[in-house]
Structure 1
């Protein structure tokens, strides 16, 4: 074996190991480390897909759920993300993770072009946008046009930071180009490598264009982006821009359960996963349980007993949430009898990972119709909304069988939910809030999407706890650039901060957020 091939083997080993480790935060490798050597693009695809899915699973559990109050780690002081205690090492870890995937998928794209593998060329473009959209959505302005070019002759070692508006423009261009490549109906040469779509390029094309809708929705508050016209074009041209049509199209990575194709939490016990630390929150219970004026719990969102589990030590046998952002003095009281994540559902070797689902597409269209960005008005918005909620319940119904007490969700259950005070369209006085809040719940366990959406819409209304002193009682609006980035590429990073109008902290809003738009930034 040559030294070059040894480097490649080691690099791929590290890449694949990340997805299967229980200590993800400590095993991220340097994104500036370039994979080199003689390798097929297909050799990079599988670890990018499976490890990407496991990264999404880890980040939804570790970051997303704590920041937007699905869960709160109140089992001590070793983890305090729900109190907004997020350190520089955390910023560095998150920056490195998304950058590393962006770097590796860029390399896969280069190889696919060289090797004339059009299927992987298109997929690489879709995956790069997915990874890099999360990097920009978490940090704001980032290197994009000049990123990952250090390995080239006369490579760029200090890439400029593109404005978030420019990053989005380039991502839209990439999705357009990928869609055109998918339209040529290229053959996926090794379908057994594809744990999401089995090499079905039409489904990859639907994912590409559904991702396009996600990002158009994200920046829809910025009129200069022309998102209404583009959404209308996509909706009116299904043959040119096919999108998800049912849950069968969901971007779901299927793990076989056999090593190394295993879910991130395959060997995680209930204590480590939830009961000794991360509990369901008061906020989540409030949004999924109807409580009478007398304090009786009279109705429950059918998804809750799949997502969560009542505390067996709760003598009242009720759903109870802990308080996100609670003080040390409050912790003992609010934690007593609190409900947990349902480890039986999530901690299985073959539990899937989701990048995006059909419900999200329907929520996007519901919001767009309600706002007049696409045709149909409130009547169409209601239909899209009902489709979205139904799709979310149908998706989770498949996993009810794994709960300790199996849960079923029937069509009658869905109808009942749509007419309940939790989800009724007719009873909602603020339908924009209703769409956003139900979308928020439907995004449970899908990466960082609920965190992104909360910052975009301001819904649901979250109660900021009295213990969130670490960021001055402000839910983090972004993550700060790591110190190493500020030290090695200071001029470009500082220019980006000046453009964003704030300091390198977690209080400066990103460009597409509701806070930035309302403040005129």
Structure 2
């Protein structure tokens, strides 16, 4: 593929800096992107590290669009061909290229464990790329540099191929001996065959649910088959398909949000819309998601007066010198600080956001605060529960949607507890009684809603639980329209229905370059195939 030579020559060491789990591989001297004799136990972890790194920009961009974060231009629905170019280039020239090598060499060596993992990772990544960009290179892309102008295939056609690829990966897992050695060669699941099978089935579940508006019969039959056959799914938080970051600054393997926000100059504001959604609904996750650097800051766009200072989506006001005042990311998902300072304007109506035991103080954060040992949640137990609840509500598949709704919220709260108390983080856990009470309060709201309101409740709680994964929130919103998001204050464009393509790809790929401008313009307003 015609990408810049600079991207192609990024070293493995640079990729290794994003994850502490990879410390066993830091001293690799060869470049697995150009191996003479591929070493599977070195190449597989490289694909997992670069998977997290390659999705960074698209995840952050969609987090802004979905009002989890704020930057001036993206929150006004503006995008161009450079915004996601790094993710696009890295996906094709780094992780997907290496995955193809693992599949090819693993097949030659009959190491079906490596082949299985690689195929499941490939299916996950291509599904995300279809979800974000729509039509993309697929078949030709797997041929690497032997095809200079890969053909763009329709998202629907690629999804069909991905269902087949997932089945192949699951079948490969049962060929021969599944014995990844050392187990650290599999950063995500440590060579656990059962975990990868659960991941593959959960990915199928997600994709079936994704197509329910346009291929309802296929979606319903696919989910019913998974459930009736008792296909193993992700059912506990310990089984989450997720990437855990490390704690070191040099090399930099901390969560990307910690690296950009726990320093003097900051890249983002927290979304005021998201802050007020949690504060206004007395959400117990508030102190874990945000950390205040001041206790009371009352500029015009922050009316709460309690230090939760962010920006409303689409606010075009110039940014003052406020890096030491704005609220920042907390212990979840970024491995930052837990906010244990008193909140000024709580009332008797607050049951879950309380000042009980709040003895801390706001502070201006630095890179020595928090650990950075956060998480990038790809497919989680909470997500699976919410998907099953949505499917039961909309297609009548098996399961009690209310119970699944409650299970999803419980899984979200418990995942925060896990990050709060491991990998160098220090935050109090939510007591079991508080978790139970909070879930019950949301269940009561669910009970009081009509059918549309119940779906809204499910998708809203999933949206909150997905803080840290803007990509899936973006998918859900385009498919369901929930939760309702405030309109940008000063939009520059309509809400983007797809992400902008890499300008390098459009300029250099002869299969699309003649119509590059039209193709790019259409990305803003053309739904992906599953968005009806």
**TM-score by shorter chain over 0.5:** yes
Judge conservation of contact 1:54–1:264 (CA < 8 Å) in 2: no
Query: Could you tell me how far apart the structure 1 residues matched to 2:132 and 2:447 are?
Result: 35
Instruction: Decide which of 480, 497, 506 is 2:500's aligned counterpart.
Output: 480
Among 57, 75, 82, the alignment partner of 1:82 is: 75
Question: In the alignment, what sits opposite 2:49?
Answer: 50
Deviates more, 1:44-53 or 1:229-238: 44-53
2:329 corresponds in structure 1 to: 341
Cα distance, 1:371 vs. partner?
1.4
1:245 alignment counterpart? 235
Q: Residue 186 of structure 1 aligns with which residue? A: 178
Deviation at 1:12, TM superposition (A): 8.5
| Partner SS state of residue 324, structure 1 | coil
Verify: 1:35 aligned to 2:34, yes or no: yes
Find the residue that maps to 1:42 and give its secondary structure: helix
Gaps of 5+ in 1: 1-9, 23-32, 75-79, 291-298
Distance 1:351 1:480 in 2: 28
CA contact (8 A) 2:18 2:245 kept: no
TM-score (ref. length: structure 2): 0.78
Q: 1:21, CA displacement in angstroms?
A: 6.5
Quote how far apart the aligned CAs of 1:306 are.
1.0
Displacement of 1:348 in angstroms is 2.5
Residue aligning to 2:66: 68
The yes-or-no answer on 1:512 pairing with 2:503 is no
Question: What is the root-mean-square deviation of aligned Cα atoms in Å?
Answer: 3.4
| Distance change in 2, residues 1:320/1:254 (3 Å) | closer
1:92 aligns with 2:102: no
Query: How far apart in 1 are the matches of 2:461 and 2:149?
Result: 42
Alignment of 1:381 onto 2:380: no
With over 3 angstroms needed to count, the CA separation of the structure-2 counterparts of 1:143 and 1:174, relative to structure 1, is same
1:391 and 1:57 mapped to 2: Cα distance?
Answer: 24
For 1:207, the equivalent position in structure 2 comes to 199
- Post-superposition Cα deviations, 1:260-290, rounded to whole Å, max 9, x if no partner, equal 69334497364549x8442222321233123
Question: Shift in Å at residue 425 of structure 1?
Answer: 1.7
In the other structure, the counterpart of 2:388 is: 365
Q: 1:131 to 1:269 in 2, by over 3 A?
A: closer
Indicate the SS of the match to 1:479. Answer: coil
2:479 alignment partner in structure 1: 456
3-state DSSP of counterpart to 1:289: helix
Kindly provide the CA deviation profile for residues 443-498 of structure 1, in whole angstroms up to 9, marking residues without a partner as x.
Answer: 111362212222222111112213221xx2x1211123334333433445779999
The equivalent of 1:293 in structure 2 is none
| 194-203 or 502-511: bigger deviation | 502-511
> Taking structure 1 as reference, are residues 463 and 423 closer, same or farther at Cα in structure 2, changes over 3 Å only?
farther
Deviations 1:392-434 (A, max 9, x none): 1111112334899833212221222223369732133411111
Provide the C-alpha distance between the structure 2 equivalents of 1:246 and 1:12, rounded to a whole number of angstroms.
39
Does structure 1 conserve the Cα–Cα contact (< 8 Å) formed by 2:58 and 2:84?
Answer: no
Question: Cα offset for 1:169?
Answer: 0.3
- Are residues 220 and 494 of structure 1, via their aligned partners in 2, closer, same or farther at CA, if it must alter by over 3 Å? farther
Aligned residues: 466
Contact in 1 for aligned 2:62/2:474 (Cα 8 Å)? yes
Moved more, 103-112 or 254-263: 254-263
TM-score (norm. length: structure 1): 0.80
Partner SS for 2:488:
coil
Q: Distance in 1 between matches of 2:425 and 2:127?
A: 37
Q: Is 1:415 the counterpart of 2:432 in the alignment?
A: no
Distance 2:283 2:397 in 1: 30
C-alpha distance after superposition, 1:47-76 (max 9, x if no partner):
11123234445643x3122111011135xx
Quote the Cα distance in structure 1 between the aligned partners of 2:503 and 2:419.
42
Query: 1:198-277 to 2 correspondence within 5 Å?
Result: 198-223=190-215, 226-238=218-230, 241-255=231-245, 257=247, 262-265=253-256, 268=259, 270-272=261-263, 276-277=266-267
Correspondence for 1:314: 296
Distance (whole Å) between structure 2 residues aligned to residue 70 and residue 18 of structure 1: 26
Structure 1 counterpart SS, 2:506: helix
Give CA deviations for 1:151-177 in whole Å, capped at 9, x if unaligned. 4xxx43322222111000001100011
Quick one: distance in 1 between partners of 2:134 and 2:425? 42
Q: Separation in 2 of the partners of 1:194 and 1:214?
A: 23
